[in-house]
Structure 1
Amino acid sequence: MKNITKLSFVTALSMASFPTCLSANETLADAFTNGKIKGEIKSVYSSSNFLGNSKTDNISTIGGSLGFITADFYGFSAGATFQASHVIDDRNKNNVFSSDLNASGGVLSEAYLDYKLSNTSVKAGRQYIYTPLVSTAIDGKSSESLLKDSFEAYLLTNSDIPNTTIVAGYVDKYQAKTDGNTDIGKFNDFEDGAYTLYVKNNSVENLELQAQYLDVNATNSNNDRNNIYLQADYKIGTHTISAQYLSSKDESKGSTLEDGELYGIKAQGALGIGKLGYLVAFNSSTKDGDVNLGAGAGTTDTAFTAMPVNGGGVPTRANTDTLVGGLIVPVYDITTIAYAGYSWSNGGLGDVSAVGAMAIYPFYENFLLKVNYEHVETEHTIIPAGIEEKNTDVARVYLSYKF
């Protein structure tokens, strides 16, 4: 709970200086009066027998978030988001959820000051970030949990170039979902800091281009890492064709394994039969080393073939090819998605296959129910040693109310 009172230095200083540096107190009061409150009450249940554990882990949690952002005041605005979680029932036999759901407590995950002038904005403090290489957990993806991870960062965003958004940033601290020991993660130094540059361009009709660079200065210089990401999305009628490339250098892996590369292609859209939809994706990695995905829980979903429950860890292994396909079937107000994937490799876990399904049901205004199930079969396991097929079954139920 110490996190509740621990604000970013820059944010706290800036917010504290508001009343003394501005004389229009009534207008400043209006900025708070006209601010917006948003939040979510959420409950998550999950079970998993990870890699064939004889005893299944089960956990039930409840919590949510409450956020407030002021209205604009001469280009300035400030925001804060508080998160809380409570474990109702914990039957963890193998600590499967130690870094995901098994956390009780509260944390002030956002506390920032944002200044906008023309087409440029500067945002400083604790904040959620959503870019391919630096990303908070993403709702609806495998990284979704009851809690979100967060960054203490300084971002400059500019859109002076037509149809182009440029984001330059420095990440100073990171708050994980949990601390791995039944408490919510605290804001700790993110190595010795990380610099990133992200560009998105829509100049060509129906074509969106994205590029990002991330440079992480590790506390130990022998563990420095950097990433490059490229993505192109082209719309053809109701279909979108996408391509991606990701390269990483992780010096902590050693000179023979530090370089990783991942290529991907994806197609998604409508089938032309009622409201049926489809998604087909393929990723291939080089044999040099595993691919580092960047910073934050949301990056586990960056690879096109990331599984809806278990994420993108498998397709980012070295020398691995992965194919995933899904079918979207709306039935009345329920969106049902059935999917399957297969990954083949000569090392590590060997071949991995997966099948799964999810149902999304907005059963009442602002209420949402989601049910996910995924079955994964792995050819090799690391523990115990040897070649032995192990199965993993994961079920998740999300119930949320947003306001």
Structure 2
Amino acid sequence: MNKKLCLSIVISLICMPKSFASDAIVDAINEAKVSGEIKSLYFSQDFSDSSGKQTSSIWTNGGEFKLVSGDFHGFSLSSSLQVVDVTWRDDVDDAYKTSMSADGAVLSEAYLSYDFSNANTRVHLGRRYLAMPLLGGSSAQSVTESYEAYLITDRSLPQTVIVAGKIDRYQARTDFKSTTPFTQAKADAKGKPGEFLDIGEYGMYSLYMSNTSIANTNVQVHLVETQGIAFMGYADMFYQFDTRFKPYIGGQYYKTVYHDNTLGQDSDMLGLKLGVELIDNLDLFTGYNKTNDNGKVLHGLGNNAYANFTTTTKTSGDTGFEAGSNSLQLGVAYQIDSVKVKYRWTNFNPLDEEGGMTEHTLNLSYQFESLKQVSAMMDYSVMTFDNDARSMTDLRTKLIYRF
């Protein structure tokens, strides 16, 4: 966080009338809220006989502890500490080296917020989680990715949200993870949670907007500029028909402009999605993505920055961003009481025929009725590659207690 800005805030607080400031501080402390979760995760991967790889599995336990202060004349402080213990690991081929094998703790959120008196504008300064199409940290594994950001959020316009600012650093799941071309892995990585690493030489500039002012329509636009690396653009629009089966149609567009030709050739990707609700809580949907033949499109920074209409659980549909890729997904989702089920069949056909694959994804979740704070999840994926040596299965189980 900017040291001059922090110093100015501290001086302002100190200079307040003593009784006025102390009473407000006490109120902010008394209104503080504690929350978090404790989770146990077991992941396993099984590879085809011709791959030369051995079955890998890992069991981690840990959690996250959040503290959010009360309001202090528009200011508030938020923090989140993540703790992970790699309880058991059988991973000769290091299949989980960059994703799950993170033994230790990291302060992933530590930011100051200020709400302007109009209640429509908020400033965030510091480490925090983000959830936008091109900047999104995933919480699906041991460690949730985070960002060091300086953002302003405005809701002054009717049914419109605008988020603008700069993102300087990024925290991956483990310190072995490289997010080239944005960040590099640490040379002295030891299998700990990811540290906050600089994004390029100058950081990222981000502008996000969403709007729902048109009836039954939702529009998103996200622009990210990383000097010396690339410009990334994203836009989508969804329209839901006001008829019996609640059909909807969505379109999306990705654009990547590389500032360094050695990193890739400029490219773009189009997407189309359709869906209907046949009966209550039974949804059918299909998605299609087509990437330009010129080069690979960048999906963004973070494992939850996959807004593509052919996203999956294991690979996130990353193959769909490769040059010339055609991706098709067919899916069904159903919820009955406390059980949610989703199945997706996804086929990827990039220019590189060796990378073609079909991915089957089954997601199950159960919310315990007697223990409302406890949930269990299972994800199972089967990946069949045109190059059989890469074919594999992926199992993920999760037990989570939220408080």
Q: Same fold (TM over 0.5)?
A: yes
Aligned to 1:295: 301
- 1:196 match: 206
How far has the Cα of 1:279 moved from its partner? 2.1
Matched, 1:317 2:322: yes
1:366 partner amino acid: Q
Offset from partner CA, 1:344-367 (integer Å, 9 cap, x none): 233153421111212100123111
Residue 244 of structure 1 and its aligned partner are, at CA, apart by 0.6
Q: Per-residue displacement from partner, 1:215-258 (whole Å, max 9, x unpaired)?
A: 112xxx3xx11101001011223333211100112345538x42
Q: State which of 326, 338, 347 in structure 1 corresponds to 2:343.
A: 338
Q: Quick one: which amino acid aligns to residue 20 of structure 1?
A: I
2:28 aligned counterpart, secondary structure: helix
Residue 28 of structure 2 corresponds to 31
8 Å Cα contact 2:319/2:355 also seen in 1: no
| Residues 50 and 134 (structure 1), Cα distance of their counterparts in 2 relative to 1, 3 Å cut | farther
Equivalent AA in structure 1 for residue 394 of structure 2: V
Distance in 1, Cα, partners of 2:46 & 2:318: 18
Question: Deviations along 1:99-155, whole A, 9 cap, x unmatched?
Answer: 211011111111111011112111100111111111111x5xxxx212111111100
Query: How many equivalent residue pairs?
Result: 377
Structure 2 CA distance for aligned equivalents of residues 280 and 129 of structure 1: 27
| Aligned counterpart, 2:41 | 44
**Cα offset for 1:14?**
7.0
Q: 2:153 matched to 1:157?
A: yes
* SS of match in other structure, 1:368: strand
Contact residue 75 and residue 115 of structure 1 kept, 8 A = yes
Closer, same or farther: CA 53–400 of 1 in aligned 2, 3 Å: farther
Alpha-carbon distance change, 233 to 43 in structure 1, aligned in 2, over 3 angstroms: same
SS of the residue corresponding to residue 309 of structure 2 reads coil
With over 3 angstroms needed to count, the CA separation of the structure-2 counterparts of 1:398 and 1:159, relative to structure 1, is same
Query: How many Å apart are 1:338 and its aligned residue?
Result: 1.9
Following superposition of structure 1 onto structure 2, how do residues 1-400 of structure 1 map, counting pairs within 5 Å?
9=3, 13=7, 20-22=14-16, 23=18, 24=20, 25-49=22-46, 52-117=51-116, 118=118, 119-137=120-138, 139=139, 144-180=140-176, 181-192=190-201, 193-217=203-227, 221=228, 224-237=229-242, 238-252=246-260, 254=262, 257-272=264-279, 274-299=280-305, 301-347=306-352, 349-363=354-368, 364-380=371-387, 388-400=388-400
Equivalent position of 1:4 in the other structure: none
Q: Secondary structure at the match of 1:314?
A: helix
Conserved 8 A contact 2:34-2:67: yes
| Separation in structure 2 between the aligned mates of residue 58 and residue 348 of structure 1, nearest angstrom | 29
AA aligned opposite 2:316: G
**2: CA distance, partners of 1:347 / 1:123:** 43
Cα distance in 2 between the residues matched to 1:250 and 1:49 = 36
SS in 2 for 1:96: coil
1:185 Cα offset (Å): 0.7
Pair 38,14 (structure 1): closer, same or farther in 2 beyond 3 Å: farther
Q: Which amino acid aligns with 2:45?
A: S
Give per-residue Cα distances to partners, 1:322-344, cap 9 Å, x unaligned.
11111123345321222211112
Give the 3 Å change call, closer, same or farther, for CA 203–108 of structure 1 in structure 2. same
2:353–2:386 contact (8 Å) kept in structure 1: no
> TM-score, structure 1 length as denominator?
0.88
Report the aligned-residue RMSD.
2.1
Give percent identity, aligned residues only.
27
Shift of 1:308: 2.1
3-state DSSP of counterpart to 2:27: helix
**CA shift at 1:389, angstroms?**
4.9
Q: Provide the C-alpha distance between the structure 2 equivalents of 1:17 and 1:62, rounded to a whole number of angstroms.
A: 42
SS in 2 for 1:263: strand
Kept in 2, the 8 Å contact 1:320–1:344? The answer is: yes
**In structure 2, distance between residues paired with 1:27 and 1:346:** 62
Counterpart amino acid of 2:31? N
Offset of 1:79 from its aligned partner?
A: 0.6
**Which residue does 1:384 correspond to in 2?**
none
Distance verdict in 2 for CA 1:8–1:392, change over 3 Å: farther
Q: 1:183 to 1:65 in 2, by over 3 A?
A: same
